[in-house]
Amino acid sequence: MAEIKVMKDILGENDAVAAENQKLFTEKGIYVLNLMGSPGSGKTSILEKTMEKLKDKLRMAVVEGDLFTSKDADRIEKHHVPVIQINTVGGCHLDAKMVQNVLPRLDLDNLDLLIVENVGNLVCPAEFAVGEDEKGVILSITEGDDKPMKYPLMFKEASVVVLNKVDILPYCNFDLKGAEEDIDTLNPGVKIIEASCTKDTGVDAWCEWLQDRVAAKKQLAAK
Protein backbone atom coordinates (compact mmCIF):
# COMPACT_ATOMS: atom_id res chain seq x y z
CA MET A 1 0.00 0.00 0.00
CA ALA A 2 2.88 2.37 0.82
CA GLU A 3 4.00 2.23 -2.78
CA ILE A 4 0.60 3.33 -4.04
CA LYS A 5 0.58 6.27 -1.61
CA VAL A 6 3.98 7.45 -2.88
CA MET A 7 2.85 7.25 -6.48
CA LYS A 8 -0.27 9.29 -5.68
CA ASP A 9 1.82 11.95 -3.93
CA ILE A 10 4.16 12.25 -6.91
CA LEU A 11 1.25 12.62 -9.31
CA GLY A 12 -0.44 15.14 -6.99
CA GLU A 13 2.70 17.30 -6.81
CA ASN A 14 3.11 17.07 -10.55
CA ASP A 15 -0.50 18.12 -11.16
CA ALA A 16 0.01 21.20 -8.95
CA VAL A 17 3.00 22.35 -11.02
CA ALA A 18 1.19 21.49 -14.26
CA ALA A 19 -1.67 23.76 -13.12
CA GLU A 20 0.82 26.61 -12.60
CA ASN A 21 2.20 26.10 -16.10
CA GLN A 22 -1.31 25.92 -17.53
CA LYS A 23 -2.31 29.18 -15.82
CA LEU A 24 0.71 30.96 -17.30
CA PHE A 25 0.05 29.57 -20.80
CA THR A 26 -3.57 30.69 -20.61
CA GLU A 27 -2.60 34.20 -19.46
CA LYS A 28 -0.31 34.41 -22.48
CA GLY A 29 -2.85 32.86 -24.86
CA ILE A 30 -0.53 30.01 -25.84
CA TYR A 31 -1.97 26.68 -26.95
CA VAL A 32 0.17 23.80 -25.70
CA LEU A 33 0.15 20.27 -27.09
CA ASN A 34 1.84 17.38 -25.30
CA LEU A 35 2.91 15.10 -28.16
CA MET A 36 3.42 11.48 -27.22
CA GLY A 37 4.14 8.17 -28.92
CA SER A 38 6.64 5.32 -29.20
CA PRO A 39 10.24 5.79 -30.28
CA GLY A 40 10.23 5.88 -34.07
CA SER A 41 6.51 6.63 -34.44
CA GLY A 42 7.34 9.87 -36.26
CA LYS A 43 6.82 12.58 -33.62
CA THR A 44 9.78 14.64 -34.78
CA SER A 45 8.93 14.04 -38.45
CA ILE A 46 5.40 15.36 -37.91
CA LEU A 47 6.90 18.38 -36.14
CA GLU A 48 9.24 19.06 -39.05
CA LYS A 49 6.28 19.00 -41.45
CA THR A 50 4.29 21.20 -39.06
CA MET A 51 7.04 23.80 -38.98
CA GLU A 52 7.35 23.80 -42.77
CA LYS A 53 3.65 24.54 -43.11
CA LEU A 54 2.86 26.69 -40.08
CA LYS A 55 5.93 28.62 -39.01
CA ASP A 56 5.01 31.60 -41.23
CA LYS A 57 1.36 31.48 -40.13
CA LEU A 58 1.81 31.41 -36.38
CA ARG A 59 4.51 31.84 -33.79
CA MET A 60 5.61 28.45 -32.56
CA ALA A 61 8.22 26.87 -30.33
CA VAL A 62 9.15 23.32 -29.43
CA VAL A 63 10.31 21.66 -26.23
CA GLU A 64 12.12 18.41 -26.93
CA GLY A 65 12.22 15.66 -24.34
CA ASP A 66 14.92 13.09 -24.85
CA LEU A 67 16.79 10.64 -22.65
CA PHE A 68 20.32 11.76 -23.46
CA THR A 69 20.76 13.34 -26.90
CA SER A 70 19.82 16.50 -28.76
CA LYS A 71 19.26 14.67 -32.05
CA ASP A 72 15.62 15.77 -32.33
CA ALA A 73 16.30 19.35 -31.21
CA ASP A 74 19.01 19.56 -33.89
CA ARG A 75 16.40 18.60 -36.51
CA ILE A 76 13.96 21.23 -35.19
CA GLU A 77 16.59 23.97 -35.06
CA LYS A 78 17.19 23.68 -38.81
CA HIS A 79 13.70 25.12 -39.32
CA HIS A 80 14.57 28.28 -37.36
CA VAL A 81 11.91 27.67 -34.76
CA PRO A 82 12.88 28.22 -31.10
CA VAL A 83 13.62 24.84 -29.54
CA ILE A 84 14.64 23.87 -26.02
CA GLN A 85 16.13 20.50 -25.23
CA ILE A 86 15.32 18.73 -21.98
CA ASN A 87 17.47 15.68 -21.29
CA THR A 88 15.82 13.43 -18.75
CA VAL A 89 19.07 11.48 -18.25
CA GLY A 90 17.33 8.14 -18.47
CA GLY A 91 13.94 9.34 -17.20
CA CYS A 92 11.15 7.83 -19.25
CA HIS A 93 8.81 10.86 -19.35
CA LEU A 94 8.77 14.62 -18.99
CA ASP A 95 7.15 16.10 -15.90
CA ALA A 96 5.67 19.51 -15.18
CA LYS A 97 8.68 20.73 -13.20
CA MET A 98 11.10 19.97 -16.04
CA VAL A 99 8.97 22.04 -18.39
CA GLN A 100 8.50 24.83 -15.84
CA ASN A 101 12.27 25.07 -15.42
CA VAL A 102 12.85 25.88 -19.11
CA LEU A 103 9.97 28.34 -19.59
CA PRO A 104 12.09 31.42 -18.74
CA ARG A 105 14.10 30.61 -21.87
CA LEU A 106 11.05 31.04 -24.13
CA ASP A 107 9.59 34.36 -25.29
CA LEU A 108 6.10 33.60 -23.99
CA ASP A 109 4.77 37.05 -24.94
CA ASN A 110 5.39 36.25 -28.59
CA LEU A 111 4.12 32.72 -28.90
CA ASP A 112 0.90 31.13 -30.19
CA LEU A 113 1.75 27.43 -30.17
CA LEU A 114 4.07 25.36 -28.00
CA ILE A 115 4.53 21.70 -28.81
CA VAL A 116 6.18 19.50 -26.22
CA GLU A 117 7.63 16.35 -27.75
CA ASN A 118 7.62 13.87 -24.91
CA VAL A 119 10.04 10.99 -24.41
CA GLY A 120 9.24 8.08 -26.75
CA ASN A 121 7.12 5.78 -24.57
CA LEU A 122 3.50 4.61 -24.71
CA VAL A 123 3.04 4.34 -20.95
CA CYS A 124 3.85 6.98 -18.33
CA PRO A 125 3.95 10.21 -20.39
CA ALA A 126 0.15 9.95 -20.33
CA GLU A 127 0.19 10.09 -16.51
CA PHE A 128 2.32 13.21 -16.09
CA ALA A 129 0.69 16.41 -17.30
CA VAL A 130 3.14 19.19 -18.13
CA GLY A 131 0.60 22.02 -18.29
CA GLU A 132 -0.69 21.22 -21.77
CA ASP A 133 -4.12 22.08 -23.14
CA GLU A 134 -4.35 18.74 -24.84
CA LYS A 135 -2.43 15.59 -25.61
CA GLY A 136 -1.75 14.06 -29.00
CA VAL A 137 -0.55 10.54 -29.81
CA ILE A 138 1.33 9.42 -32.90
CA LEU A 139 1.02 5.69 -33.63
CA SER A 140 2.83 4.34 -36.64
CA ILE A 141 1.62 1.46 -38.81
CA THR A 142 4.80 -0.49 -38.05
CA GLU A 143 3.98 -0.70 -34.34
CA GLY A 144 0.98 -3.00 -34.84
CA ASP A 145 -2.78 -2.50 -34.65
CA ASP A 146 -2.98 -4.02 -31.15
CA LYS A 147 -1.29 -1.08 -29.46
CA PRO A 148 -4.34 1.08 -28.63
CA MET A 149 -5.92 -1.71 -26.57
CA LYS A 150 -2.57 -2.64 -25.00
CA TYR A 151 -1.77 0.94 -23.97
CA PRO A 152 -5.28 2.33 -23.44
CA LEU A 153 -4.51 5.28 -21.14
CA MET A 154 -2.53 7.15 -23.76
CA PHE A 155 -5.34 6.81 -26.30
CA LYS A 156 -8.04 7.70 -23.76
CA GLU A 157 -6.20 10.87 -22.77
CA ALA A 158 -5.50 12.05 -26.31
CA SER A 159 -7.51 14.69 -28.15
CA VAL A 160 -5.98 13.70 -31.46
CA VAL A 161 -4.47 10.44 -32.71
CA VAL A 162 -2.29 10.40 -35.80
CA LEU A 163 -1.90 7.05 -37.54
CA ASN A 164 1.42 7.63 -39.24
CA LYS A 165 3.24 5.94 -42.14
CA VAL A 166 0.02 4.87 -43.89
CA ASP A 167 1.99 4.78 -47.14
CA ILE A 168 3.48 1.44 -46.08
CA LEU A 169 0.12 -0.17 -45.19
CA PRO A 170 0.41 -2.58 -48.17
CA TYR A 171 3.57 -4.06 -46.62
CA CYS A 172 2.31 -4.39 -43.04
CA ASN A 173 -0.33 -6.55 -41.41
CA PHE A 174 -2.02 -3.54 -39.90
CA ASP A 175 -5.81 -3.50 -39.70
CA LEU A 176 -6.43 0.23 -40.11
CA LYS A 177 -10.19 0.05 -39.71
CA GLY A 178 -9.88 -2.21 -36.68
CA ALA A 179 -7.32 0.07 -35.02
CA GLU A 180 -9.51 3.09 -35.62
CA GLU A 181 -12.50 1.27 -34.14
CA ASP A 182 -10.45 0.35 -31.06
CA ILE A 183 -9.33 3.96 -30.63
CA ASP A 184 -12.91 5.15 -30.97
CA THR A 185 -14.07 2.58 -28.42
CA LEU A 186 -11.47 3.83 -25.93
CA ASN A 187 -12.12 7.49 -26.66
CA PRO A 188 -15.41 8.02 -28.53
CA GLY A 189 -15.30 10.76 -31.13
CA VAL A 190 -11.56 11.44 -30.81
CA LYS A 191 -10.02 13.07 -33.87
CA ILE A 192 -8.12 10.47 -35.92
CA ILE A 193 -5.83 11.53 -38.76
CA GLU A 194 -4.26 9.10 -41.22
CA ALA A 195 -0.89 10.49 -42.21
CA SER A 196 2.39 9.92 -43.96
CA CYS A 197 5.15 12.45 -43.47
CA THR A 198 7.20 11.14 -46.37
CA LYS A 199 4.25 11.34 -48.79
CA ASP A 200 2.83 14.50 -47.20
CA THR A 201 -0.50 12.77 -46.60
CA GLY A 202 -2.77 14.02 -43.82
CA VAL A 203 -0.29 16.67 -42.75
CA ASP A 204 -2.59 19.46 -43.91
CA ALA A 205 -5.45 18.01 -41.86
CA TRP A 206 -3.14 17.85 -38.85
CA CYS A 207 -2.03 21.47 -39.33
CA GLU A 208 -5.64 22.64 -39.74
CA TRP A 209 -6.56 20.87 -36.52
CA LEU A 210 -3.69 22.63 -34.74
CA GLN A 211 -4.60 26.02 -36.17
CA ASP A 212 -8.19 25.60 -34.96
CA ARG A 213 -6.94 24.79 -31.47
CA VAL A 214 -4.61 27.80 -31.43
CA ALA A 215 -7.47 30.09 -32.52
CA ALA A 216 -9.80 28.68 -29.86
CA LYS A 217 -7.17 29.24 -27.15
CA LYS A 218 -6.66 32.83 -28.28
CA GLN A 219 -10.41 33.46 -27.98
CA LEU A 220 -10.49 31.88 -24.53
CA ALA A 221 -7.52 33.97 -23.36
CA ALA A 222 -9.13 37.18 -24.66
CA LYS A 223 -12.17 36.71 -22.43
Binding site for Zn ion (CB under 5 A): 92-93, 124
- Minimum distance from residue 215 beta carbon to Zn ion (Å): 32
Q: In what order do the strands lie in the sheet with 60-66?
A: 83-87, 60-66, 113-117, 31-37, 134-140, 160-164, 191-194
Q: How many whole angstroms separate alpha carbon 155 and alpha carbon 152?
A: 5
Residue 88: other Cβ atoms inside 10 A: 16
147 binds, among Mg ion, Zn ion, none (CB under 5 to 8 A by kind): none
Residue 90: other Cβ atoms inside 10 A: 8
Q: Between 12 and 104, whose beta carbon lies closer to Zn ion?
A: 12
- Minimum distance from residue 117 beta carbon to Mg ion (Å): 6
- Minimum distance from residue 65 beta carbon to Zn ion (Å): 10
Q: Which stretch binds Mg ion (CB under 5 A): 17-25, 38-46, 82-90, 128-136?
A: 38-46
Q: Between 103 and 124, whose beta carbon lies closer to Zn ion?
A: 124
43 binds, among Mg ion, Zn ion, none (CB under 5 to 8 A by kind): Mg ion
Q: Which stretch binds Mg ion (CB under 5 A): 70-78, 135-143, 179-187, 200-208?
A: 70-78
Reading phi first (left if > 0) and then psi (alpha if -120 to 50, else beta), residue 106 is in beta
Q: How many whole angstroms separate alpha carbon 14 and alpha carbon 195?
A: 33
Helix (H) or strand (E) holding 48: helix 43-54
Identify the residue among 31, 59, 72, 138 touching Mg ion (CB under 5 A): 72
Identify the residue among 34, 41, 44, 140 touching Mg ion (CB under 5 A): 44
Q: How far apart are the first and last CA of the chain?
A: 45
43 binds Mg ion per the rule CB under 5 A? yes
